[in-house]
Structure 1
Amino acid sequence: MTDVVDERTAAKAGLEAAEEELQSLCASHAGTFVEVERRGRALEISLDELLNTVTSVESMVSTTQHALEQEEEDGPGRERENSLAALSEKHRVRRRTLLQHSSLLELLELPSLMDACVRSNLYDEALSIAAFANTLERRHTTEKNTVVLKVIEQVRSRQSDLRRYLLHSLKNHVTMPVCLEIVTALRRLNSIDLERLQSSSSTSSTSGGNDNSSNNIERVFAAMELSLQVDFLEARDGWLDQTTSTGTTGNNNSSNNNKFRSSKIPPHQHSSSEQLLDTIERYRTRMFEIATQFNAIFRAQQTSHIVNGNGSSNNNNNDIQVSVSLLSMWTSRRVHTFLKILSSQLQLMEDSGSLRDALDACVFFTGSMGRLGADFTAQLPPLFEQKLLAIVLHNWKEGTNQLTETLKICRDAGVASPLFSSTTVVAASTSDNGGTSEGEDNDSTSSSSVMMAPPRQLMALPPLGRLVNACLVGLNELRRCLMPGIFSQLRTAVEKEFLLEVKNILHAHERAVMTPGLRGDATKLRENAKKMKNVTKTIVFPYVRGAVELSLGNVSGAKIHFDKLKVFLNPPAPPALPPVIPESIVEDTNEDKKEEDNKDEGNSAIVASEQAGDEKSD
């Protein structure tokens, strides 16, 4: 029993110890218990909320399940957008799109890449991108993909930019290889457009219309080639019309310009003459270069097609004829433009030296164009003849104006001293001009022997001397640039616009000084007016006519006028009286004459009888 009591006592003591230990543990972990209780309460609240949410979503889930299970509505073949099959297909497409992300990025970068190639002059790469756009269009024709269509549209836009950029490059100076490269790129652009047109026509055409479609393609190709030629010439026109800045021309151009530049050009004429020569040289070199490039690029290729047998011979012959006519029209238009520019710039010339330099340059220009079948030499003489005649008439007009002004001033002032000269005039012998020495040629028709110096009698009348000097200055302009077409015009002008004008001026001056009430030296003025009219009629007019004929090369006509003037200036001496003959000598001579007369009568009778006998026999 004791053992049992002891065990109970021990168990009780152990229980009390465990309770004390438990209380001590609970006291030490009181915070943990509080936190666990708090967390448990929060979990209960969350579970309650989840249960309420699930209960509220239950109806929606049932509705969604019903919708997903329903694949068709309002008849067969029409799937709902929120059906399970449709959503699955969209998901699949999006996954495939995500897998092609890098390829899609490259596709979207095609327009910007082509733009960069155009700016960097990478024509081949840009054309490859443009050709790839046609491939994309053929692959996605049926799908009508919005992204692909947008990319193709932007590439086509860059393709138009490339064409404009290539044509703009032709407006600058380009060598033959570069020009050929640009035209080749333009032709590839045309082939890309033709390929797109061909693919679109092939998809839309029926099986029986293949011949018509091929004919349409050929016509479109011919139209594209013709348009390319027109664009080429229009672009090169821009380069032709550009003015050459100083120092940019080559050594060949400068040497050719110096060939035609005269060292005797006055300073005030230097700029205008240099500008005209530069214009002629620019047109010569550039027009010849453009025509050569056109023939080498277009006509040479068409000829090669005929040799290789590509295409029908009739079409190729027609293409060559179109190219030739197009080049001919362009050349005619540019020559017409050049002649307009030449006519306007010739008005700035004031001396025949610059005119001669311009004429030589133009003749050289026409020779260069003649190798291309565009020689326009026949159109040059009217322009230069008109300007040369204007230069001569300008000098004559200055002489007549000076004469008019001098006479008016002296008449208004009543002073006659400026119209006279106190210089003693000595008549010059005609042996110096009319004869020749032993060492010289005796040809009387040479211009050196016919040429007559201005009469010294004009020194007594200074106004007439200055008038003759002005006439000679105008005729000296003909020595540098004499043209045959000006002969008749110059002869008419010297009579109507110079001699007649001088005659009218002197006649008006004489009438003015003859009016009553003239103040000053009226007597001397009237005497001088009559003397000037007489000298003008007898000396000035014959000398001017002879000088004009001599300047035109009519030596015989000049000699006639100068001989008349020499006879007037140096009249021949009167004939000497015959010597006195003795009477005996006179009688002897009379008898000899009678004997000779008798002999002549006898001879004439014999001849008459012989003639009568001949008539009878006949």
Structure 2
Amino acid sequence: MTDYKRFLSLLYPDGYPAQWEDDPKIRDYILKLGTYHVDNLVREPDRLKHEAASLQEHIQELAVSNYRTFIETAECSRELFSQFNSIECKLDMLLSDIPKFEEKCKEFGEKSGDINEVRRLNSLTLSKSLQLLEVLELPQLMNSFINDGLYEDALELAAYVRKIYNKHSNIVIFKSIVDDVDKAWLTMLHQLLTQLRQDLSLPKCLQIVGYLRRMQVFSETELRLKFLQTRSCWLDECLRNIPKDDMSNHLTKTIDVTRVNLFNILTQYRAIFNDDEHSPLVGDSSKNQNVIFYCWIKDKISQFLVTLKEDLKYISSIESILEQCMYFGLSFSKVGCDFRSQMIPIFTSRISENFNESITDATKNFEQNMEKFTLIDKIHPSIPWKSKSEDQMQPPDSLLEFYPLGEYLNNVLNVLNKLRLCAPVAVADDVVSSLQDSLTVIAKSLQVLYNQEQQALTHNSKEAFTRMCMSFADDLVPYIQKCIHIIYPPSHLAAKLGVTVQYLHEDGITFLNKQAVIEPMRHLLPAKVVPDSHLLKDDMVKNEDEGVLTEEKVCDNNIEDEK
């Protein structure tokens, strides 16, 4: 090969194309020339020229005979060139878009992988559709249990759902199921509290509170408060349903409803929360819980006392109400809630007010009668006066001559008869004070009557007026005093207070002050009838243990019968 190149250098000292070195045809021709003789070499240029001319002629003939083919070939070559150029441009564009295409392919691969995963999950979901449907229907099942009152099953189902959620808290569907179950949970809580606002037996209360405890919505203290609150709503509803057309019936029904239902609530509370008074309290929590219960009882009793105080204003017959209330308080003393002492001031105040109002009405009625009464030409009637040996507990017949005094006594006797049915010792001073004031008003009215008509009074009228004043001072006032002692016997009262009758008289307990009563009209009375306080005192104290008891026995029925 090196000789071949050297030979080419000798033949073409001015240089030759580099591709000749690798062209096999040129190499074969050069090697062939090396085998020629000199003569052949001399003739070789001419042969080559002759062969070149022949080839040229042949080419020309070929071109002439196949010019169409050459033209078509040229056109085809030109078209191919343009097509190749276009292809080259598109290839360049393709090469520039290949990175983007690779990215798109990668994205497609990723998406197709996700699609395959979703398809796999969907296939798995389809195969587990029944189990998934059961899980998805758990909230609906919870609502069905609650609506049907199957709270036990609802509690177990809620616990199961929460257990599943704790294991698979990363799954969104379980979070949604737990939220729906919690909504149903609140509905169940509302239904249980609503049931506590109804009339329930002890087993039912135990069952409902047991459900509330298992729900763990309230602490123990909050559960007690909620129980008392709901049962209080039910009690208030029962009390609101009592008709108020008849206040006596309303108060009677209120006492019965409050006593029965409040005792039931108390029994239910103690059975449910097991507050044993003899068991040791653990910490301040138990103490607070006991305080909560007794404060609630106190509040309910206070509400009852307010109702009692309001309704007593419209009730005339108090003795039956008092008996029911005392039985109410006595029944609650068995559970340590005796409140009878709180009712006593209400009844005594109401009895005192009723008595004062009735005596005031009797006094006003007397004043109205006195406006129509006149002493002009008053003639002494032929009335058979009672002797001292006759029954002194009968109303004085001397009052029949003066109808204002007789009617006043009749009204007072009616009031005292009502008081005698229920006469608390605590109102004795109010009774005496009210009668004292009323009699003082009457004495002043007699004085006014005399001042108005003294100019027109005749001798007979003056005598009649004197008899009227004497009848008031010597008959009416002492008789009312005796009636007071029938209701409040001094001996009994002194025995209860641990004092003597003499002490009662000195302090004016159940004793009228006769001198103060007749003071406004003292100048109208004859001197011989001025009351001797020492005699009156001796009469009251005499036969302390026997005389008063006998007096009460004799006059007991007279007060009820006299009008």
Q: Sort the TM-score into its range (normalised by shorter chain).
A: 0.5 to 0.7
Map of 2:148 onto structure 1: 120
- Alignment partner of 1:540 is 2:476: yes
What pairs up with 1:560-599 in 2 under 5 angstroms?
none
1:86, distance to aligned residue in structure 2 (A): 1.9
| Residue in structure 2 matched with residue 407 of structure 1 by the alignment | 370
2: CA distance, partners of 1:461 / 1:396? 19
**Which residue number corresponds to residue 483 of structure 1?**
424
Following superposition, the deviation at residue 501 of structure 1 comes to: 2.1
Unaligned runs of 5+ in 1: 1-58, 72-79, 194-222, 248-268, 307-312, 434-450, 570-618
CA contact (8 A) 2:145 2:154 kept: yes
Aligned to 2:435: 494
TM-aligned CA distance change 1:371 to 1:425, over 3 Å: same
Counterpart mapping for 1:402-481 below 5 A: 402-410=365-373, 424-433=382-391, 452-481=393-422
Rounded to whole Å, the distance in 2 between the matches of 1:98 and 1:560 is 103
Q: Which residue of structure 1 aligns with residue 301 of structure 2?
A: 335
- CA drift of 1:398 comes to 2.2
Partners of 1:280 and 1:362 within 8 A in 2: yes
Other-structure match for 1:225 = 220
Unaligned ranges ≥5, structure 2: 1-93, 492-500, 516-527, 531-563
Does the 8 Å contact 1:403/1:463 carry over to 2? yes
Per-residue deviation, 1:188 = 0.9
- In the aligned structure 2, how far is the partner of 1:427 from the partner of 1:275? 50
Among candidates 327, 344, 350, match of residue 381 of structure 1? 344
Counterparts of residues 234-253 of structure 1 (less than 5 Å): 234-243=229-238
Residue 102 (str. 1) matches residue 130 (str. 2):
yes
Residues 542 and 109 (structure 1 numbering): CA distance in 2 closer, same or farther, change over 3 Å?
same
- Return the alpha-carbon distance in structure 2 between the equivalents of residues 373 and 527 of structure 1: 67
Superposed displacement of residue 375, structure 1: 0.7
- Work out whether residues 391 and 474 of structure 1, in 8 Å CA contact, stay in contact via their aligned partners in 2: no
- 1:41-56 alignment runs, 5 A limit: none
Partner residue of 1:507 out of 435, 447, 462: 447
Residue 242 of structure 1 aligns to a residue whose secondary structure is helix
Kindly report the root-mean-square deviation, in angstroms, between the aligned alpha carbons of the 2 structures: 3.8
Q: Deviations over 1:278-326 (max 9, x none)?
A: 11111111111111111111126999xx9xxxxxx87x45443233222
- The residue number in structure 2 matching 1:150 is 176
2:202 is matched with 176
Matches within 5 A, 1:276-291: 276-291=251-266
Displacement of 1:526 in angstroms is 6.6
Q: Is the 8 A contact 2:255 2:328 kept in 1?
A: yes
Cα separation, partners in 2 of 1:92 and 1:66, compared to 1, 3 Å:
farther
User: How many angstroms does 1:125 deviate by?
Assistant: 1.5
1:137 equivalent in structure 2: 165
Give the letter aligned to residue 258 of structure 2.
Answer: Y
Displacement of 1:63 = 11
Q: Does 1:345 align with 2:320?
A: no
Q: What TM-score, normalized to structure 1?
A: 0.59
2:273 aligned with 1:298:
yes
For residue 246 of structure 2, give the secondary structure of its aligned residue in structure 1. Answer: helix
In structure 1, what is the Cα distance between the partners aligned to 2:117 and 2:299? Answer: 67
CA contact (8 A) 1:458 1:465 kept: yes
- In structure 2, the residue corresponding to 1:482 is in which secondary structure? coil
Name the % identity.
Answer: 22
Deviation at 1:169, TM superposition (A): 0.6
Change in Cα spacing, 1:99 to 1:560, as seen in structure 2 (3 Å) is closer
Aligned to 2:25: none
Indicate if the aligned counterparts of 2:428 and 2:510 stay in contact, CA closer than 8 A. no
Alpha-carbon contact 1:299-1:323 (below 8 Å) kept: no
Give the deviation of 1:559 after TM superposition.
Answer: 12
Contact 1:114/1:158 (<8 A) preserved? yes
User: Is the partner of 1:479 in helix, strand or coil?
Assistant: helix
Match of 1:364 in 2: 327
Q: CA deviation at 1:138?
A: 0.6
- How far the C-alpha of 1:69 sits from its partner, in A, is 4.7
What letter corresponds to residue 102 of structure 1 in structure 2? L
Q: Which aligned runs of 4 or more in structure 1 are off by greater than 3 angstroms?
A: 62-69, 244-247, 300-303, 316-320, 420-423, 521-534, 555-561
What code does the residue aligned with 2:226 have? D
Give yes or no for the alignment of 1:70 onto 2:106.
Answer: yes
Change (3 A) 1:91 1:453: same
- How far residue 102 of structure 1 moved from its aligned partner, in angstroms, is 2.4
Q: Aligned runs of 1:15-94 on 2, under 5 Å?
A: 66=102, 69-70=105-106, 83-94=111-122
Structure 2: how far apart are the matches of 1:559 and 1:144?
Answer: 89
Does the 8 Å contact 2:488/2:510 carry over to 1? no
- 1:253-300 alpha-carbon deviations (Å, 9 max, x no partner): xxxxxxxxxxxxxxxx99322221111111111111111111111126
Task: Within 5 Å, give how 1:514-533 maps onto structure 2.
Answer: 514=454, 531-533=467-469
Work out the CA distance in 2 between the residues paired with 1:479 and 1:324: 43
- Sort the Cα spacing of 1:360 and 1:531 in 2 relative to 1 into closer, same or farther, 3 A: same
Residues of 1 paired with 2:276 and 2:484: CA distance? 58
CA deviations over 1:319-352 (Å, ceiling 9, x no partner) = 432332221111111111111011011111123x
- Deviations 1:97-156 (CA, angstroms, capped at 9, x unpaired): 222322333333222322222222111122122212312321222x141x3222211211
Structure possessing the higher relative contact order (Cα contacts under 8 Å, 6 or more residues apart): 2
CA distance in 1, matches of 2:464, 2:175: 100
TM-score with structure 2 setting the length = 0.64
Residues 487 and 552, structure 1, Cα contact 8 Å, conserved in 2: yes
Query: Does the 8 A contact of 1:421 with 1:461 survive in 2?
Result: no
Does structure 1 residue 164 correspond to structure 2 residue 190? yes
| 1:553 match | 489
Is the 2:432–2:510 contact (alpha carbons within 8 Å) kept by the matching residues of 1?
Answer: no
In structure 2, the CA distance between the partners of 1:86 and 1:408, relative to structure 1 (3 Å rule), is same
CA contact (8 A) 1:510 1:530 kept: no
What does the per-residue CA deviation read over 1:575-612, in whole Å, with 9 as the maximum and x for residues that have no partner?
xxxxxxxxxxxxxxxxxxxxxxxxxxxxxxxxxxxxxx
Partner residue, 2:62: none
Letter in 1 for 2:231: R
Distance 2:159 2:291 in 1: 33
In the alignment, what sits opposite 1:326? Answer: 292
- Superposed, 1:186-197 pairs within 5 Å as 186-190=212-216
The answer as to whether partners of 1:363 and 1:377 remain within 8 angstroms in 2 is yes
SS in 2 for 1:238: helix
Instruction: Tell me the CA shift for residue 93 of structure 1.
Output: 1.9
Q: Separation in 2 of the partners of 1:95 and 1:151?
A: 23
Q: Which has the larger radius of gyration?
A: 2
Count of paired positions: 408
Name the SS of the counterpart of 1:475 in structure 2: helix
Question: C-alpha displacement at 1:512, in angstroms?
Answer: 3.0
* TM-aligned CA distance change 1:502 to 1:181, over 3 Å: same
Cα separation, partners in 2 of 1:300 and 1:378, compared to 1, 3 Å? closer
**Is the CA contact (8 Å cut-off) linking 1:283 and 1:338 kept in structure 2?**
yes
